[in-house]
Chain A
């Protein structure tokens, strides 16, 4: 009963009590009429409620029907319902405790309409417990001025489909194993590694040696391990040479030469070849792909490893993604609100950035680096730099390497790392370390 019906019930009770105490038939007549109205309204509400429930149809679509635990999944639920006036309906999606709602709406209101209406929930879930999960159904809440009712619709037409959540080996060490000539990657490869990248249900044809008997016994169902893949690709060595027009540490350069030479030698001995890319600022100077001869590689390093003149300068240019991030940040600041003067300033800067981004051209250097990376079969690169002067080209190289799905290691002089330990500029790199 809602507030209106509760008020009416109270009036009826008072009238009946008064009629009984005073033995007054007029009070009883008023109570009788109100009681007839209230009971009649209840019967009408109940009938309409059943009509609404019988008009409900649910259709649910999932992005995938099999996922690994921890995966985020998009779900769309379409509910068709006819809510005649003056009723109001609220529909809520009921989800199993095996998943957590990440974002989106799981509750919506259906406005009264004599014709059937179609509403849609769109939300994302994260799977938190492995096993088979069924979408339970919906809860329909209907109300009018006097009454409200709620019903859980969990039967077959409103539930489903099933989602199979595969377990993952959460106790596996995070670090990748590396041998002298190969390392593990989180991909299926012909040669299997030692680490377990996933656990899944057994399918006919799977190698019986890969069955995880402990997990299978626990769930009374066969589970197999999926191992990591092994790759034996040498890293790409990128050398960022200093500009002769800017001061730099000669000792740091000599250290860099020595470390690069050592890494190149190790790569040739372990992987049979090495690729070296020589740049200086935004100038691509030399590229030696898949060099197999150690002597030739060393002579090439001797030839190039010294300060060089730079034809192209970037003058601390900001790349497009950094400007976009800045615009997003300023928009968030404006939405949060604050001092009018500060908001006006943020808005002006945002407009300036938007003006800049429309006229910003991609530097030729970025295209050259992207073409160089695309010609190589490599998944890891080491970038050596003295980080003196303008370093905007380093961010561009990191970005292109990330687009090519490479692991990026930045190696800088110890003094530079000590001066700027956080190194926000190279946040997207996988490691930033001193080469000496």
Chain B
């Protein structure tokens, strides 16, 4: 599958998800998610030749992700996957099979995060858990990096 075809696939799935969840939930502000979808589609079209397209797609996709997440956590998750897919594709991060597998891992990792948020009543505990896990990962990584760099830093 070519990069352009992948792009349109992600966009199509995103559009179906947004329209589907809007119809299914019967939200009173149904037009908001459709406007945000159009906004994302516009940015998707306008920035197709831009250098840092991925970043602009994320910026345009975040309000849509929030809108979908407000209607349904799972719709927000799928919208997040699709927007991330568009951004990664724009940055050339899905060109090889290994990278596509990594995208699959990303989707799998976000699933427990969505589950945790789904079963939470307030934001404090999930924020703390996210902060602790991120801090732990960064700290472990820093220690590993320091130990690893020692092997190359011997100045004679």
List residues of chain A with CB under 8 Å of any chain B CB.
Answer: 3-4, 7-8, 11, 15-16, 19-20, 23-37, 39-40, 42-44, 46, 50, 53, 85-86, 134, 136-137, 145, 151-156, 158-159
Interface residues of B in 40-77 (CB under 8 A from A): 52, 54-55, 58-59, 62, 65-70, 73, 76-77
30 examples of A-B residue contacts, CB within 8 angstroms: A3-B52, A11-B59, A19-B123, A20-B124, A23-B123, A24-B70, A26-B68, A26-B70, A27-B66, A27-B123, A28-B126, A28-B127, A30-B65, A30-B80, A32-B110, A32-B113, A33-B81, A34-B62, A36-B113, A37-B106, A39-B138, A40-B105, A42-B138, A86-B93, A145-B91, A151-B152, A154-B153, A154-B155, A154-B156, A156-B156
Q: Is B20 an interface residue (CB 8 A)?
A: no
Quick one: which of B54, B95, B117 contacts A29, CB cutoff 8 A? B117
Task: List the A side residues contacting B141 at CB < 8 Å.
Answer: 42-43, 46
User: Which of the listed residues A15, A30, A43, A145 has the most CB atoms from chain B within 10 Å of its own CB?
Assistant: A30
Contacts of A137 in B (CB 8 A): 155
Give the residues in chain A near B66, CB-CB below 8 Å. Answer: 15, 26-27, 29-30
Asked whether, in the complex, the Cβ of A145 is within 8 Å of the Cβ of B54, the reply is: yes
Cross-interface CB contact of A25 among B59, B92, B117, B148, cutoff 8 Å: B117
In the complex, how many angstroms separate the beta carbon of B88 from the nearest chain A beta carbon?
8
Taking CB atoms, residues of chain A closer than 8 Å to B67 are: 26
The residues of A that contact B92 with a CB separation of less than 8 Å are 85-86
B134 within 8 A of A: yes
B155 near A153: Cβ-Cβ < 8 Å: no
B55, B76, B81, B152: the one within 8 Å of A8 (CB): B55
Cross-chain pair count, CB within 8 angstroms: 132
Q: Is the Cβ of A32 less than 8 Å from the Cβ of B130? A: yes
B141 to chain A, nearest CB (A): 6
Query: Who on chain A is nearest to B131 by CB?
Result: A16
Residue of A nearest to B67 (CB): A26
Contact assessment for A34 and B58 in the assembled complex, using a CB-CB cutoff below 8 Å: yes
User: What 1/0 flags go to B96-138 for Cβ under 8 Å of A?
Assistant: 0000001001100110011001001011101100100010011
Residue contact A19 to B59, C-beta cutoff 8 Å: no
Report chain B residues within 8 Å CB of A19: 123, 127
How far apart sit A11 and B77, CA to CA, in the bound complex (Å)?
A: 17
User: Among A25, A28, A40, A158, which residue has its beta carbon within 8 angstroms of that of B152?
Assistant: A158
> Chain B residues with Cβ under 8 A from A158's Cβ?
152
Any chain A CB within 8 A of the CB of B145?
A: yes
In terms of DSSP, what is the predominant structure of the interface of chain B?
A: helix
What is the bound-complex CA distance between A42 and B140, given in angstroms? 13
Complex Cα–Cα for A43 and B142 (A): 11
Chain B residues within 8 Å of A151, by CB: 149, 152
A8 to B91, CA, bound (A): 14
What residues of A have a CB within 8 angstroms of the CB of B80 in the complex? 29-30, 33-34
Q: Is B154 an interface residue (CB 8 A)?
A: yes
Do A29 and B76 touch (CB < 8 A)? yes
Q: Does B151 contact A (CB under 8 A)?
A: yes
A30 touches B62 (CB 8 A): yes
* Cβ–Cβ < 8 Å partners of B62 in chain A: 11, 15, 30, 34
What residues on A are CB-neighbors of B127 within 8 Å?
Answer: 16, 19-20, 28
- In the complex, chain B residues whose CB is within 8 Å of the CB of A25: 69, 73, 117, 120, 123, 126
* Chain A residue, CB-CB nearest to B83: A33
- Expressed in whole angstroms, the Cα–Cα distance for A29 and B84 within the complex equals 14
Write the chain B residue with the least CB distance to A7.
Answer: B55
Given the interface pairs A39-B137, A85-B95, A154-B153, the reply to whether A29 lies near B58 with Cβ below 8 Å is no
Given contacts A15-B62, A42-B141, A46-B141, contact A152 B126 (CB under 8 A): no
- Which one of A28, A53, A154 lies within 8 Å of B154 (CB-CB)? A154
Q: Which 9 A-B pairs have the closest CB atoms?
A: A26-B69, A33-B80, A26-B70, A32-B113, A29-B69, A154-B155, A30-B65, A155-B154, A19-B123
Query: Is there an interface contact between B102 and A40, defined as CB atoms closer than 8 Å?
Result: yes
Residues of A within 8 A of B114 (CB): 29, 32-33
CB-CB < 8 A to B134: which residues of A?
35, 39
Q: Are A86 and B123 in contact (CB under 8 A)?
A: no
Q: Which residues of B contact A23 (CB under 8 A)?
A: 122-123
Least CB distance, A186 to chain B, in whole angstroms = 35
Task: Please tell me if the beta carbons of B123 and A136 are within 8 angstroms of each other in the complex.
Answer: no
Contacts of B123 in A (CB 8 A): 19-20, 23-25, 27-28
Q: A86: shortest Cβ distance to chain B, in Å?
A: 5
Indicate if the CB atoms of B58 and A36 lie closer than 8 Å: no
The answer to whether A36 touches B95 (Cβ under 8 A) is no
